[in-house]
Amino acid sequence: MKKVNRLRCVFIGLVGISCSSAWGEEWGKHGGGHAEKRYSILSAINEKNVTNLGVDWFFDLPGAQDGLAATPIVSDGVIYITTSFSNVYAVDSKTGRQIWHFNPGVKAKHGFSNSWAARVNRGVAVEGNKVIVATADCRLIAVEKDTGKAMWDVLTCDPSLEYSITGAPRVANGKVFIGNGISDYGARGYLSSYDLETGKMVWRFWTVPGDPKRGHENETMKMASKTWADGYAKNGGGSPWDAIVYDEKYNQVIFGTDSGIPFDPDVRSPGGGDNLFLNSIVAVDANTGRYKWHYQTVPNDAWDFNSANHIIQAELNIDGKQKDVLMQAPKNGFFYVIDRSNGRLLKADPYVNATWASRIDLKSGRPIENPAARYHKTKEGRSRVTPSLLGGHNWHPMSYSDKTGLVYIPAHEFSTTYRLNPDAQLGGALFDSYGNDLNAERDDLSKSATQIGRLIAWDPRRGKAAWTVDHELPMNGGVLSTAGNLVFQGTATGKLNALSADKGQLLWSFDLGSAVQAPPVTYMRDGVQYVLIPAGSGGIGRFLVPLYGTGKSAVGPDRLIAFSLNGRKELPKDVESDEIVPRPPFETEDKKLVEKGRELFEENACGICHGSVAVGRRPVGSSVRDLRYMDAETHKNFYKIVLDGLYKALGMMPHKDILSLDQARAIHYFIVDSQWKLYNEKNK
């Protein structure tokens, strides 16, 4: 079977059809094919028999339990998936048996970006005899497909300069394409192309202009420099950290870019300017990396509304004319349909409530903004805005069904207050992500009704939703659609749901025991169709732990679960952690100091790793622990850890240039106060 599939894929590839979408039995590319529709032609599992699905096999992924974000790749009967610290596992697609494991030895000590990203990886690319993985410490590695042994290893960015990588590589025409991140701490973004066989760099496209005194790399950067008040991006930005697609018809690579810092554009680019190529969709020649066209979704951005999100390619009839298009639902809340032959905007409609702009002008392509949304211009220095910095749709992959013509968006709606704060380490602004004060108690956060998770079936031709299903919590998993008239999605509450693709009717649901962020895939093996879901919540989900709580969303194991119509296995019953909360070392009677610690915890973005209001993902198992379980030794060394970098090798960066001793003491008091509350709750 393996040889037959491989030969047929090569033959189909020679005539210009993506083998994964034409052959359809496996999931050979990140988005199911170069078009990244995440649609499968398989229909053995369909709306009539989906209720018979059961667990066929499961595999608990070893290592740090930091959650899963990767799309599994299925090639020649083997599943390839990544976990935190860019570990790669090869698993038999029929039995769930581990075949090999590759550990690239990622170091998380290089900087804040590198440390955060070490816990997230969105997958590999498989081509020929190679598995390609990008690491959090900026390496691009080719691993032998059958053995898991490294073949070549190149440095594609410098982790000491706040670069890192969480995204999956893409491969086409003998080249590997990879971006980087994270723009939030000052990296200057670029997309690179490497030779698949040797690992030698072929070309590089910078996304924002560098210092003109050093000379611009090309005419494109010279052009972009005119959109920056100082002639260049002093603090970097524009990282292509996720969406990269290869357009076979026009032989171009299309990718999305991040925003820049500070978030306040009056500081980032005093005097104005659109700031290219922040918040943009960019197309470059696949062979040379030369600029072809771009479309910027949010000129002069102030809200971190980046456009690095999933891009889908398709052919649509727009106003009576057949068009080659790309579709994206970026963070800003508008759904875009763009002519991918030239970058011209065709349609833009709000898919969630968007208060920062009333509409997108189709002639100019620019948003018609609500002036009150620009918090940096208001007298109070704050504005209530929807969507929030977390967006109306984040990185979680969408799906486009050839059967229904609908795009399925894993969306959510957050209202938030942006407010200027030069002391804020993340972009020089603060935001309450829950629709109320971030310093609210955990119970209040869980009861908040200002966040809505949604699965939206979007009609891109009509610019409106065909149907919508609300979820109990926001930030749910990626989506898969199939020819069986089905849509599959994992949820933040730990369910895998199957809905009818045409009407959105819930047909089947299964309790996975773990919250989901990653997307499901489907494949055929020996005449049996499987639906595969990576369960285990991670990434930015760490920040949302207080909202999720422990009762609504399961913080279960990182687990691959394969379903089939013949499946009859049961998942192990997860035992609730009885981890003892250590008695805090001192009383926290100084409530003003505790409150100051809350503010500093927020200002310094501690919650991005440790969970907002210091409620972490899990007490044990994860590489980033819940701070409320600190033992006496950790408390004793708190200032050495926070200020001096005692745990730098584990990814906890020294903060002595950011925090004073008194500020660190306030944060310590806040954590101790939080620990007391949990300790008293556990010892009623």
Report pLDDT for 499.
98
* Tokens, residue 273: 């300017």
Q: Which amino acid is at 548?
A: Y
Contact 175, 126 (CB under 8 A): no
* Tokens, residue 195: 């030779």
Q: pLDDT tens digit string along 117-157?
A: 999 999 999 999 999 999 999 999 999 999 999 999 999 99
C-alpha gyration radius of the chain: 24
423 catalytic, yes or no? no
Contact 78, 95 (CB under 8 A): no
Strands (E), 375-476: 382-385, 399-400, 407-414, 416-420, 429-431, 451-459, 464-471
Q: How far is CA 282 from CA 11, 292, 409, 605, in A?
A: 31, 8, 22, 30
Coil, helix or strand for 553?
A: coil
Residues of the chain with pLDDT under 70: 1-23, 432-451, 547-554, 575-577
Sign of CA dihedral 331, 337, 339, 344: negative
The CA-based angle 39-345-276, given to 5 degrees, is: 105
Nearest-CA neighbor of 678 among 577, 580, 541, 553?
580
Supply the pTM of this predicted model. Answer: 0.94
Strands (E), 225-365: 244-247, 252-256, 280-285, 291-296, 311-318, 321-328, 334-339, 345-350, 357-360
* Length of the chain in terms of residues written: 684
Task: Report the alpha-carbon distance of residue 622 to residue 651 in Å, rounded.
Answer: 13
Residue 634 φ/ψ, nearest 5 degrees:
-65, -45
Q: How far is CA 9 from CA 4, 15, 24, 142, in A?
A: 9, 10, 10, 21
Task: Report the alpha-carbon distance of residue 516 to residue 541 in Å, rounded.
Answer: 9
Q: How far is CA 243 from CA 146, 181, 357, 450, in A?
A: 28, 12, 24, 29
Report pLDDT for 312.
98
Report pLDDT for 436.
41
Nearest-CA neighbor of 34 among 204, 253, 288, 323?
253
Report pLDDT for 556.
84
Report pLDDT for 214.
93
Report pLDDT for 141.
98
Nearest-CA neighbor of 597 among 539, 519, 676?
676
Task: Report the alpha-carbon distance of residue 28 to residue 21 in Å, rounded.
Answer: 9
Q: Which helix (H) or strand (E) holds 10?
A: helix 2-14
Task: Report the alpha-carbon distance of residue 45 to residue 30 in Å, rounded.
Answer: 21
Q: Which of 137, 247, 264, 304 is catalytic?
A: 304
Buried b (16+ CB within 10 A) or exposed e, 573-591: eeeeeeeebbebeeebeee
Angle of the 661-682 helix axis to the 591-603 helix axis, nearest 10:
110
Report pLDDT for 543.
74
Report pLDDT for 611.
85
Report pLDDT for 4.
35
**What is the DSSP secondary structure assignment for residue 488, as one 8-state letter?**
E
Report pLDDT for 550.
52
Q: Which residues pair with 321 in a beta bridge?
A: 318
Q: Name 1's Cβ contacts closer than 8 Å, sequence gap at least 6.
A: 77, 526
Q: How far is CA 667 from CA 602, 607, 646, 674, in A?
A: 10, 12, 17, 11
Nearest-CA neighbor of 578 among 629, 509, 525, 632?
629
Task: Report the alpha-carbon distance of residue 451 to residue 412 in Å, rounded.
Answer: 7
Q: What DSSP string describes 625-649?
A: --GGG--HHHHHTHHHHHTT-TTGG
Task: Report the alpha-carbon distance of residue 641 to residue 73 in Å, rounded.
Answer: 39
Strands (E), 104-247: 125-127, 130-134, 139-144, 150-155, 170-172, 175-178, 190-195, 201-206, 244-247
Report pLDDT for 15.
31
